[in-house]
Each structure stands twice: as C-alpha cells, then as structure tokens.
Amino acid sequence: MKQKSMPRITAHRGASGNAPENTIAAIELAAAEGAEWIEVDVNVSSDGIPVLHHDDDLDRCTDGQGLVIELSMAELAQLDTGSWFSKRYRGERIATLDDCLNLCESLNLGINLEIKPCSGWEIPTTDQIAAVLHRRHTLPNMVISSFSHAALLRAAEKIEFIPRASLFLVAPPDWQQLTEEVSAINLHLQDNTLLEKSTIDEFHRAGLGVYCYTVNTIEDAQVLFAQGVDGVFSNYPKLLIDAGLD
Ligand code: G3P
Ligand code: MG
C-alpha cells in the first residue's frame, strides 16, 4: 500500500490539549485546527473490540473503574469519557477503532496508531487490531507504533502492509537491531531537546524517520526541528501550525 509519511506536526491523542484525549471530539478538533495526522492509543475490550484509550485502567479518563480489558464493549460504551476533562464534553463516549477509522477517512486524516495493550495482552490486542484493519476495504494513511516490541513483531507478521515505528522513551543501545527486527520506518522518542544532532543523523543514516512526543511549546518544537527531527506529536497542533512550523 502506498503510504504518505507523517507530517511535521501530528495531533497527539487528537487535539488533546483542548478536548478529551483519544475521543471523536479530539479527532474532530485536530482536523479543525489544521492537523493532517493524529496519534491515538488503542487498547481492547474483554470481548475483543479495539478502543481508543491511553491508560490500562478507566479511572483517570472515564467515570468507570477497573481495567479496559476487564469490561465488555457494551459496558465500555456506557461510560462518560468527556466530563473528566470539561463539562462541555459530558457524555462523550469511548470510541472504537472502527469509529476512529471512519472519521479519519472522512476527514482525510492520517493515523499514528499506537498499540497500547494492558500488560500481558500484547499479542491478543495486536491480533484484534489486525482483524479490524483486515476487515476494512480502505484505510487512511497509517503508521503502527508501540512501546511493546512483541506487539510490533506481531504487527509485522499480521498487518505487514502498514508501516511500523519503534517507540521508546530514549533510544536503547540496541535500537538498530530492534528497529530492523520489525522493519521499522521510524523511531518515535520522548521529547528531549538534549537529543543531539549527531544522534539524529545516525538514525537518519540507518534510514529511520525521527519523531518526538509530546511537544507542546513553539520553542521546544523549534529546537527539535533545528536538530533535524522530522516531526513532533503535540497536544496543541494549532499552536505549532499557527507558528508556521508545519
Ligand atoms: O506515540 C507517542 C506517545 O503517545 C507515546 O506516549 O504515553 O503519550 O502514549 P503516550
Ligand atoms: Mg500514545
């Protein structure tokens, strides 16, 4: 599948600085703010439905409790994932991966899909995501990323037609071997303005794009771009786009 690469600015968890993260509202806002791609975190319900949610548990971002993997889709669908952010978003529902794909196709948004499994569920979560992606006739431009090397290995096997990105806080000493094992096209690294240009050059020489999260100020983005980073993930895409950094 011919893929477009990620742009310089990706909306992190949607435009999550101004709308509840990983929701339809945050994705719509990202598009309205001019973002071309979003990043979302994808976990799975107890009955195998991939859903957008960052944390293993439901406590911080919903009015429910427990682990995402412990609740069925019918139970997750009852939860409010907007009120914690603002009463303006009261009643916002947990989005399924299918909801997200439909919306991104209609808004012409690319997706950095981060596989975010509950601990121990790396393989089944990846398999359920693969099943959704295989069922669809068309897909947006996408990259699949994960902190879980096991999930990326599985994605390389089951969803080989979507490019992969290795995701780290800091690139480990064996980054080259790990990225090669999953045929990654990118490294996604935590925002660290101490990341040296020579290191970024080394990643580039290995054929990898270099993207940083989570970059929420113009100054940090400018430093990273000056060092050669290819793109940043931001909760405030409009801030960076309006500053002409896209
Ligand atoms: O995918 C980049 C970034 O989202 C990874 O960290 O915790 O925000 O999912 P986190
Ligand atoms: Mg993420």
In sequence order, what DSSP letters do the residues of 122-181 get, joined into one string?
Answer: HHHHHHHHHHHHHH-S---SEEEEES-HHHHHHHHHHSTTS-EEEEESS--TTHHHHHHH
Ligand 1, pocket residues at CB < 6 Å: 12, 39, 41, 54, 114, 145, 167, 188, 213-214, 233
Q: 200 C-alpha vs ligand 2 centroid, how far in Å? A: 21
Tell me which residue has its CA closest to atom 1 in ligand 1: 114
Q: Which of 43, 116, 213 to mutate to test the pocket of ligand 1 (most atoms within 8 A of CB)?
A: 213
pLDDT value for 230: 97
Say which amino acid occupies 211: Y
For residue 15, what are its two tokens?
């435009």
Tell me which residue has its CA closest to atom 2 in ligand 1: 213
Question: Angle, to 10 degrees, between the axis of helix 122-135 and the axis of helix 149-158?
Answer: 30
pLDDT value for 35: 98
pLDDT value for 5: 84
DSSP 67: B
> What atom of ligand 1 comes closest to residue 112's alpha carbon?
1
> What atom of ligand 1 comes closest to residue 54's alpha carbon?
9
Neighbours of 66 (CB within 10 A): 12
Tell me which residue has its CA closest to atom 7 in ligand 1: 54
Can you tell me the distance from the alpha carbon of 226 to that of 216, in angstroms, rounded to the nearest whole number? 16
Is the preceding peptide bond at 138 cis, omega within 30 degrees of 0?
no
Number of Cα atoms under 13 Å in the Cβ half of residue 176: 8
Give the closest ligand to the alpha carbon of residue 147.
1
CATH architecture of 9-242: Alpha-Beta Barrel (3.20)
Q: Would you kindly state where each structural domain of the chain is located, as residue ranges?
A: 9-242
> What atom of ligand 1 comes closest to residue 233's alpha carbon?
2
64 close to 58: Cβ distance less than 8 angstroms: yes
For residue 177, what are its two tokens?
């071997």
Give the closest ligand to the alpha carbon of residue 216.
1
Could you list the pLDDT tens digit for every one of the 246 residues in the chain? 455 789 999 999 999 999 999 999 999 999 999 999 999 999 999 999 999 999 999 999 999 999 999 999 999 999 999 999 999 999 999 999 999 999 999 999 999 999 999 999 999 999 999 999 999 999 999 999 999 999 999 999 999 999 999 999 999 999 999 999 999 999 999 997 778 999 999 999 999 999 999 999 999 999 999 999 999 999 999 999 999 999
Token look-up 């940090």 returns 220
Return the closest-CA partner of residue 115 out of 150, 86, 87, 139: 150
Give the closest ligand to the alpha carbon of residue 211.
1
Tell me which residue has its CA closest to atom 5 in ligand 1: 213
pLDDT value for 3: 58
Whether residue 53 lies in the annotated active site:
no
Whether residue 188 lies in the annotated active site:
no
Catalytic residue among 54, 134, 149, 188: 54
